A = this chain, B = another copy of it.
């Protein structure tokens, strides 16, 4: 198996940026030796929090996604503010749900879109939770509900397209893997 970088980056320029994302276009020499470009979107590394109760149900929120103009059910989370991912998970969870947890477990870090983005997403399990008042800090989040849902119902919601967010489904895979290991 290879471990060297088969591409060569000749130069790199920022072609767009706003407070949340930055897009760079690299001039590259491709693995086949020809010249080309590669556009990459950079965004803050993100987190999702999997709140699990004693019945192994997961707390999902119903929120609006601007890019595709749809409402869907998914894990609480969001872009970190360049802070430690566990700190970001606690903050995002409190902001989006009002939940605080006594027990946090790191489940893994994944890449959101390997071919187009640099964003890494960390998944944290939150257990032994209390419900408090939600602090709406981010005016881009729009959430109108949340509840604990069993994996059986989650699978029916995926079937019906009510859960279709890959970041959520990735977090659920890591949770099932953790539950199987803990048996």
Whether A113 contacts B115 in the complex (CB less than 8 A), given A16-B39, A64-B5, A64-B7, comes out as: no
Give the size of the chain A interface in residues (CB under 8 angstroms): 73
Neighbouring B residues of A68 by C-beta, 8 Å: 111, 114, 118, 120
B113 and A166 contacting across the interface, CB-CB below 8 Å: yes
Q: Chain copies in the assembly? A: 2
A139 contacts B by Cβ under 8 Å: yes
CA distance A56 to B41 in the complex (A): 35
Whether A25 contacts B32 in the complex (CB less than 8 A), given A64-B2, A108-B164, A111-B65, comes out as: no
Whether A18 contacts B31 in the complex (CB less than 8 A), given A64-B7, A169-B110, A174-B169, comes out as: no
CA distance A1 to B146 in the complex (A): 10
Q: Please give 11 more A-B residue pairs, beta carbons under 8 A apart, in addition to A20-B116, A115-B140.
A: A1-B62, A3-B71, A5-B64, A18-B37, A38-B66, A67-B117, A74-B114, A79-B115, A112-B166, A116-B117, A169-B170
Q: What are 8 pairs between A and B in contact, CB < 8 Å?
A: A1-B145, A2-B144, A6-B64, A16-B39, A112-B112, A112-B166, A113-B119, A169-B169
